[in-house]
Amino acid sequence: MKTLRTVVMAAAAMLALSIAATSAFAIEAGTSLLGIHVGGGEAEWVQDAGTAGYITSESKLPTIRAGLEYWHVMANDKAITLSGGLGYFSETDKPGTAAAPASPDLKSTVTSFHVRLGMDDMYKVTDNVILYMGPGVQYGSGKFKFEAGTFSDEAPTVTTWSLDGRFGGMCKKGNVGMGGSIGHSFGISSATKDGAKANWTSGGFYGEGSLVFFFGGS
């Protein structure tokens, strides 16, 4: 057991020294990056609680996300980052043989947007591979819509403030790179309608693949 613990500690120390030796020059200070993201996340939504005069939160719905992100690298391999994007969910339910004649299709959609301000630490693995991780503050807004034939109803807009953390990487070739990241957020969501209010704790995972362009630097 003591031998195994010694081996693990030695491996951890070697990894730490490797990162420390290479991370100081992951990307030159002054370099800017522009990323195009496509991925997935989750959307918060609410609905009316019958005729009781309340609105209540519902289970999160999966969304397709697309957006842009800008990094500006400062000294010591720290980068400030600003991103934003759109999210979309759609479900269509068609009637079966047990449904009443002329029953309409049922369609549910969620549209949303988000903006994020964060700070990343960057680590050089090789000349072409870079890892990054860091916290951020995110604001999001989304709305659920239900349609059945000519009937249409929109739920109240949900707004969310959250803190998040993420981990990602890039493989760079010249001034172009590809990569991805995964993250988790937690925060507070809220909605209002006709005097009714709902507030709840929220959070979830998200992941994105990226095409990244590098420019600037010395």
Using pLDDT thresholds of 50, 70 and 90, give the confidence band for residue 72. very high
pLDDT greater at residue 11 or residue 129: 129
pTM (predicted TM-score): 0.82
From 108, 106, 107, 110, select the one nearest 64 (Cα to Cα): 110
What are the distances in angstroms from CA 110 to CA 64, 133, 150, 160? 10, 29, 18, 15
Average pLDDT over residues 171-186: 94
From 60, 31, 32, 35, select the one nearest 45 (Cα to Cα): 60
DSSP 59: -
Structure tokens at 83: 């991103």
Using pLDDT thresholds of 50, 70 and 90, give the confidence band for residue 21. very low
The CA radius of gyration of the chain, in Å to the nearest whole number, is 23
- For residues 142 and 112, what is the distance between their CA atoms, to the nearest angstrom? 4
- For residues 159 and 139, what is the distance between their CA atoms, to the nearest angstrom? 7
Domain spanning 2-216, CATH class:
mainly beta
Using pLDDT thresholds of 50, 70 and 90, give the confidence band for residue 50. low
Using pLDDT thresholds of 50, 70 and 90, give the confidence band for residue 8. very low
Q: Is 75 helix (H, G, I), strand (E, B) or coil?
A: helix
| Whether 151 contacts 161, CB under 8 Å | no
Half-sphere exposure of 21 (CA within 13 A, CB side): 7
Domain boundaries, the chain: 2-216
Structure tokens at 94: 């068609």
H or E segment and range at residue 28: none
Average pLDDT over residues 16-38: 71
Backbone phi, psi, residue 52, to 5°: -80, -10
- For residues 206 and 64, what is the distance between their CA atoms, to the nearest angstrom? 10
Structure tokens at 118: 């964060």
Give yes or no for residue 73 having a pLDDT over 70: yes
